[in-house]
Every structure is written in C-alpha cells, then in structure tokens.
Amino acid sequence: MPTNGGSRPLAGIRIIDLSNMISGPLATMILGDQGADVIKVEAPGMGDPMRMFGAMRGGMSSTFVNLNRSKRSIVIDLRGETGKEILRRLIRKADVFVQNFRPGVVERLGFGHDAVRALAADVVYASISGFGDTGPFSHRPVYDNVVQALSGVTAVQADPDTGKPELVRNLTLDKATAYTVAQAVTAALLARARGRGGQYVRVAMLDAAIAFLWPDGMMNHTFLGDDVFRVPPIATIYRIYPTADGSITVAALTDDQWARTCRATDREDLIEDPRFRSIFDRLTHMQELREIVTDIIATRTTAEWCALSRSTTFLTPPSCPWTTCPSTRRCGRTARWWKPSTRRRVRCGRRFPPPGSTPRLPSPIDQRPPTANTRIKCWARLATAERKSRRYERAGPWRRTIGDTVNPRGNA
C-alpha cells in the first residue's frame, strides 16, 4: 500500500473499485484523496468507457483523468476463473468494495454482496444503481439526463417565461450520487470502527437525485394545505441581466443586501417602495422587480458593475472564466498544474492536515488503455498469476494486468 497518504483520515483503508463511468469512480477518487488506497479494477480492452470520453491527447481522456486520481489500477479478466481468483485474493485484504453494475450482473460474476461478505466478513460493500435493486426500471441503463427528467430537475429548471423543461448542462446528478456514496462509505466505516461490523451501502441514483433536489427544488411542495405562502422557484429569482456591453448576475436576497444594492445603483427610492420593502414583498412582486433591475443593469458596463461589487458583494459576471477569476488566481482554488504545460487539476474540495494536500497518485491513465492482444500462457496457472499479483502490490501507481491477458507494455 502507498504510504504517502498516512496523514490523511482514511489512511490504511483499502478499497476495491469495480465501478466505471462517473458516479462510482468520482466517489472512490474522493475517498482516495482522503487517504484510502484505491485499487481500480478494469476489464481488458477498452477498460472504463470514460477513457474514451472528453478532450483527448495521445489516447488519453481528460474526463477519465479528472475522475481517477489518487488510485492504483489493475486489469483483471473476470470472465475466467484465474482472474476471479485474483480478485478474491484482493477482496480478502480489502475494507471497502464498490461496484455499479446493473442489478444481477455482479452476482452472475460471483461478486455479489453475500459472496464478497464470505471473503471479508467486515467489508463495507457499496452498490450503486440507477433505480434501485427492484422495480420496473431496475434493469435499465441510466444516464444523468435521464435521471434529471425522472427526478423533476428538468421541471425545476423550466424556462420561467415559456415553461419549457430544461436540462442542467452538467453531469450534476452523477456527481451528487458520487458525493452521496462517498459520505455513506465513510459513515459505514465509522459504524464498523464502533463495532457494528461490515455494512451494506446501497445508493440509487434516482434516490440521490431527489434528495439533492429536495431542499430548494421542492420548497413549494413540502408543506401541505391551502394556508401555505408559496414563492417563485429559485430558477426564476436568479437571472442573468444584460449590461451595456455584456451581462451580469445579481444576488441581493436579504433586506440589508437589497438596501445596499439600491444605494449602489442610485435607486434609494426602491428601499421604501411598499412592493419591495421586505423579502416577502419582493418575492410577491418578483416580475415587477425583475423589470426594474433589468433597466438599471443595462445603464452601465460589466466592468463598472464589477467594481461596485467590491462594496456591495452582490454582482458578478455570469460566466467568469476560471483562469481570470480573482478567487482562483489569488487563492489557488482551481488552477494547479499536475505536470507543467501538460495538465491542470482542481484542488481537493476537502482539506486535512497538512495544509495544501495534493492527490497521492496521478490518474492511472498516463499511458494508453489496456489491450488484450498478447497471451501469456503461463498465467493460466494460479501460482504464476499470484506472483504477478504480488509484483503488482509493489508497483505503486503503475497498472499491472492480472488474468488471462496482458498489455505488452505492462501499463495502461
């Protein structure tokens, strides 16, 4: 196991990661950033499909890079008994097992919850699915846009003027699911540490999506009855307003922020306007307020409004490039080079001592995807494969293939 993550909270925890695509790999990357030893298992051939998705350079995908740092990686052919036995040996030393196959697939491979529990009684088994283990949709493939539609996100994002449903143009729910899984796994590890034994964590993407949407997206559907004061959805409150030479977004929710905004825009008369005096008044007369704000913002340039934001803290360009954002440049929140002139990465969202922690390992994509064009006949014998497995254990971040086939280059 790598030792350079020893100061992080999950140091000493080993995770076997059979997941691919977005939610599972992002969840295990988060855990890896926090010190866990994550071993990513991929099939021979293409491996994780995300290797082929996103901006490419030399056969490498930026999306895969951004989802798989802080991991080691291994290719195992689970179609043969040799590869299955190698995975069983890895599981016996594992603390966490993560998979996101459709219900029934991992059981047919021989690595369902009961089978893995028989190999490691106190393992935390995390299963990620689209719609749960049972039900009419349980065996359907799932993607972020599908869950956005089924969970109600597209309805919340509907155009305020036309009512036409809109997608969030980002893999929001894949990522929300990943964070749900990462938190659930750490909670399960805490339960195990307190003597409650191994845990079975099941996360359905649809469930995670609705829970993620609920606090604000369902604010008008939480209280039941006819005496509820309902307000416009957040999507109708937050708008982008055209300036004299561009556009900007405005946020002034509290009464104090509203008063400072009025003074900064030379419209102090609006402070005592009975339509806008309190936050409830402004929500009630949101359409009128939006028309007034549109006329005000159009009178100055984006730079002039941004200068005012230093004192009012309510104005910002709607699409500020991260490379020019003051918070990014001054605080290092996003722009850090992993390899100068070749790759950027984001700083981990969670920080633990020592300050300024960085991923322990680069993504297992520094070479090309695994291939299966070279047969190693002697690997048909388990003893030889086991020796290869031990060599892998000492190999650090570099990929070693275990199973019936091997990449002739010996890495990804």
C-alpha pair distances (Å), 405 with each of 98, 106, 176, 208, 378: 24, 21, 36, 37, 11
Question: Could you say which of 144, 174, 207, 256 is catalytic?
Answer: 174
Tokens of 282: 């402004």
Distance between CA atoms of residues 208 and 164, nearest Å? 24
Selection from 167, 166, 114, 121 nearest residue 144 by Cα: 167
- 319, burial (CB in 10 Å: exposed 0-12, middle 13-18, buried 19+): exposed
Cβ atoms of 202 and 130 closer than 8 Å: no
In three-state secondary structure terms, 52 is helix
Distance between CA atoms of residues 291 and 268, nearest Å? 17
Alpha carbon of residue 237 to chain centroid: 26
Dihedrals phi, psi of 325, to nearest 5 degrees: -65, 125
C-alpha pair distances (Å), 284 with each of 208, 237, 347: 32, 11, 41
Distance between CA atoms of residues 397 and 309, nearest Å? 46
Cβ atoms of 226 and 50 closer than 8 Å: no
281 is catalytic: no
Cβ atoms of 412 and 370 closer than 8 Å: yes
DSSP-assigned letter for residue 395? S
Looking at the annotation, which residues are catalytic? 174
